[in-house]
Amino acid sequence: MSGEDFESLEKVLETCVPEAELREVRRLLFGKQLKKLNLPQSALDAAEEQDFDLKGYVFEASPEQLRPPRTVRVGLIQNKIVLPTDAPVLEQITALHKRVGEMVEVAAICGVNIVCFQEAWTMPFAFCTREREPWTEFAESAEDGLTTRFCIQLAKKYNMVVVSPILERDEIHGGTLWNTAVVVSNNGNVLGKSRKNHIPRVGDFNESTYYMEGNTSHPVFQTQFGKIAVNICYGRHHPLNWLMYSIHGAEIIFNPSATVGLLSEPIWPIEARNAAIANHCFTCAINRVGTEYFKNEFTSGDGKKAHHDFGHFYGSSYVAAPDGSRSPGLSRTRDGLLVTEMDLNLNRQVADKWNFKMTGRYEMYAEELKKAIQHDFKPNIVKE
């Protein structure tokens, strides 16, 4: 069985592990058992008709005497591109708007309050090619571009916060390109944007050909449903990046991504989950799915033969909670919508138990990091 045909770890476990042991295996892999969310039959029917994976889970918190539950429903959408990569640019964008728009409608039926799409969701992940055209034509304004206007319509129609990661063109600063997530409130207002802080230079990820490290730092967006942040793709490999969103008060951190199996799949289930534990917050990891073929061969200076595709984007989107529990992932091979109901009170409850923020020695770290970035830094190595 090839990687592209392997549906999911969860399905293999259900098929091969006896029921008596399966609960314990799941506990070790995913933390405490989550209740399945009772999704409307109309949503399940729509998902089957439109051929995408639909799953729902509940993250519960303990009842409190002074605070009512702070329940929010979050939706994560992963998808393949709809048209071939050499189709006209506007047709590709329009087709993706239609596909994802249909999935957002199902999310609304499921009662989702905040929805997040995958990285650069309106285009193929063409940054492997190092070609400028036609890929730079997918870039658009974060404030009033075609996709932002589309997301404003979705937000207003469904009373839903929309997190829309796009390739941004910043006309005010000379048409500079950025990898950016736009956050639209449920009232249809553009709350702001968060640019990708860390740009990979690994294998075929030739992204610095198109855009550089973001300059928006670590914004956190106060929405009607909670404080959210967006740590785009490669930023998940940097623990301090997660930390700074948390320091600024994020209760949910989204990680819209585009990553392939041979490069990152073994660490994918770990990183966002670890970040949720370390930072007393919920994390949401979203990855695109499918294999995208490009007409012109490309290489990346790594000794591999010229090839036409990036590899298989393995989906497997999931949500992790601060207590270490996480949802099963979506399919590795199919479009999907993951709906999770989370009680944000869990963040403080876990923080009160483990006290990572209280016991963190941030002043000591800051002082030593300040020294470490100086050109004349001398490591504190004790020798005999």
- Note the pLDDT tens digit of each residue in 296-340: 999 887 788 999 998 999 999 999 999 999 999 999 999 999 999
| Whole-number pLDDT of residue 304 | 82
pLDDT surpasses 50 at 1: no
C-alpha distances out from residue 374 to 65, 238, 378, Å? 50, 20, 9
Arithmetic mean of pLDDT, 365-373: 97
Contact 188, 155 (CB under 8 A): yes
Spatial separation of the C-alpha atoms in residues 333 and 330, rounded to whole Å = 9
**Eight-class DSSP state of 284:** E
**Eight-class DSSP state of 223:** E
CA 54 centroid distance within chain: 17
Map residue 205 onto helix, strand or coil.
Answer: strand
**Residues assigned a catalytic role:** 119, 196, 233
Map residue 317 onto helix, strand or coil.
Answer: coil
| Whole-number pLDDT of residue 300 | 81
**Per-residue model confidence as pLDDT tens digits over 332-344:** 999 999 999 999 9
Backbone φ and ψ of 227, nearest 5°: -95, 125
**Total-model pTM:** 0.97
C-alpha distances out from residue 266 to 160, 185, 270, 308, Å? 33, 34, 8, 24
Contact 287, 259 (CB under 8 A): yes
| Whole-number pLDDT of residue 142 | 98
What domains, with CATH codes, occur in the chain? 7-33 (no CATH), 34-373 (3.60.110.10)
Radius of gyration of the chain (CA): 21
Arithmetic mean of pLDDT, 33-50: 97
pLDDT surpasses 60 at 86: yes
Spatial separation of the C-alpha atoms in residues 164 and 65, rounded to whole Å = 37
CA 126 centroid distance within chain: 18
| Whole-number pLDDT of residue 194 | 98
| Percent share of the chain, pLDDT over 90 | 89
Element (H, E) at 273: helix 268-279
- For residue 32, which amino acid is it? K
| Whole-number pLDDT of residue 108 | 98
The single residue listed with the structure tokens 């439109």 is: 50
**Per-residue model confidence as pLDDT tens digits over 131-170:** 999 999 999 999 999 999 999 999 999 999 999 999 999 9
Q: Which residues of 10-35 are buried (b: 16+ CB within 10 A; e: fewer)?
A: beeeeeeeeeeeeeeebeeebbeebe
pLDDT surpasses 60 at 171: yes
Element (H, E) at 290: strand 289-298
Q: What is the mean pLDDT of the chain?
A: 96
Backbone φ and ψ of 260, nearest 5°: -115, 160
Arithmetic mean of pLDDT, 211-223: 98
**Per-residue model confidence as pLDDT tens digits over 172-209:** 999 999 999 999 999 999 999 999 999 998 888 889 99
CA 147 centroid distance within chain: 18
| Whole-number pLDDT of residue 207 | 93
- For residue 89, which amino acid is it? V
**Confidence class for position 360, pLDDT limits 50, 70, 90:** very high
Spatial separation of the C-alpha atoms in residues 286 and 131, rounded to whole Å = 26
Arithmetic mean of pLDDT, 99-109: 98
Contact 149, 111 (CB under 8 A): no
Map residue 315 onto helix, strand or coil.
Answer: coil
| Whole-number pLDDT of residue 3 | 63
The single residue listed with the structure tokens 């499918």 is: 290
